[in-house]
Structure 1
Amino acid sequence: MKNITTITAAAKRPTLLDIARECGLSRATVARALSGKGYVNPQRRQLIHDTAERLGYRTSAIARALRTQKSATIGVLIADITNPIFPEIVKGIDEAVSVDNYTLFLCNTDEDVAKQRALIRSLLDRQVDGLILISQTVADEALALLQAGPPCVFVNRRPDPLFGDYIGPDNAMGVAQLLEHLYALGHRRMAYVAGPAASSTAQERRACFIREMARLGCPVPEGFIIAGSYQGESGRLAAAALLACAPPPTAILAPNDFVALEIIAFLNERGLRVPDDISVTGFDDAFKLGVGGLYALRAQGLTTIDQPKRQLGRLAGEALLKRMAQPGAPFATTLLPTLLAVRDSTAPAKS
């Protein structure tokens, strides 16, 4: 005779009423004991907690949020989950907020306006207590949602007008460090590949490049500032345009390390050597931690600007905790110093 397997429905999630029945107490007494609000006899309180543990009872986060108007969760939006700088920033955020038992909801927007708006709506529906937006250019459609929502902290990019605390690297310092380094190597014809026009960070760095070149007494020739993006492919397009200039630049500053690596790859394909023929710099030091893969191998010798990623995240988390505790305090802007990392992609300019 064959064995017959009986499939039963999974046991339902235990409720306060189940615990009350098991203990022979009222549901109200159980609720007071588990919430910690109101007096309950110590022996009964211990019985209730032991029974809840035995039955596998877990409080409903949604019900708790509805009751207390707090969810103990924080929404974090990042621009591109494949970019190695973001895990370090998120790690810093988690170090700061986990001390207060907050859980992070991490969302990847892919620099997509519709996706950004949908994710913000989803986080607000989950009643997050605060939001941290990392490298987000806030679309008009999302502005009203954010301004009417919980406290916000912005990292690396800021909306205009700013309606939250801002934490970011000192972009002026970073660009100045790169240009002073190249200037000391004898470079005078230096070109800049700008990030996306809508990015506040890209706007700041472009303005800093123009200002610092003027301070160094280096005119910027026509066509030496190229509109680009933070995607690697824009590096190839920019390098092609700059090589068409007569004469071409002796050094190219990229908006991030990904773009810098594609510029180097394009120059190599054209038979030019970096840094012997043209020097190239990046920004972010995205591969400092030795992220695996081809990019990491190619990036070991890239001269770039190291922004303190873990510290940016930690300060952002701390700023949000402070903002949630003191919502009426004036908005604060914190800029962190950058560090020039000189490696093998820069050399003295050719005569």
Structure 2
Amino acid sequence: MTYRAVLCGCGAMARGWLNALLEKPELKERVEIVGLVDLDASAARARAEEFGLSRAEIGTDLGEMIERTGAELVFDIVVPAARRAVVALALSRGCHVLSEKPMAASLEEARELLALSQKAERIHAVVQNRRYIDGVRRMRRFVESGAIGTLTGVHCDFFLAPHFGGFREQMDNVLLLDMAIHTFDAARFVSGRVPETVYCVETNPEGSWYAHGAAANAIFTLSGGAVFTYRGSWCAEGERTSWESAWRLVGSKGMLTWDGADRFEAAVAGSDAGLLRGAELIDVPPAEDETKTHGHASVLIDFLRAIETGEGPETVGHDNIHSLAMVFGAIESARTGQPVSLTA
């Protein structure tokens, strides 16, 4: 079956979606982009020309475009403030929706979208593409294997200095809302634990070119007595981490580190008696399921599978809202200076 899809929001982020849709054979054969919508019609035309979508309709009104093309899918790539209106409209017209992150601009809006999705009997999922990269899935399998025992700590460092320009440099809580959700979602996925509380300190360091919240330090308690710590900055010049963060997973029997790129190192407690026990290096097996490690393409493939089978996609809204709750809990804690419960 070939699905008719409308892409709503034709800014720079749309390139990652269109590259996946047009380059992966299993997507190119199953999805036809029948319309491109943007408040700036010239942006939609430019994106259509860039990707050779000469047959796609161009417009500024999503509802009209869905009716004109008979679309069954909407790919929502608008700015967070516009997400609720776009998703609600698409669901009301009977479309399944795959959204850019974050799922919504507030938890209240996210809950509303969950209700609308359920009422419409349509899927609303979120592009958390980084949980589909090889390294994240490799860590998840390693934790599940029990090689380092019971997981007690997840620790992530994220230090970069991108000069985006545009809307990000004017956002409030820019690091937590626009970027940290990737690491928060991955930590939840890798650990398999439920976040329970958060305490966060957010700053906008001297020299920052962002309007607000370019750095944050957060401590989450997780179910089972584990802890997740996050240290991050989007205005950190010098020795930078990977975009995927630098990870340290601590277990009852050993430890795993990942630099966010190619280096995995793991060790378990040795058998030497005495106060100082030796550590034995062990292998971290590579990814086994290659279909799960292609970023945007994997999210899109899982989205189509869910539509066809009726089984929820991995990043479906009712699961992704827990990652969003981590973000807004951290923002609330930073605002009040108090720990925030996430269990509600």
TM-score for both structures, normalised by structure 2: 0.37
Larger radius of gyration: 1
TM-score for both structures, normalised by structure 1: 0.37
Q: Which has the higher strand share?
A: 2
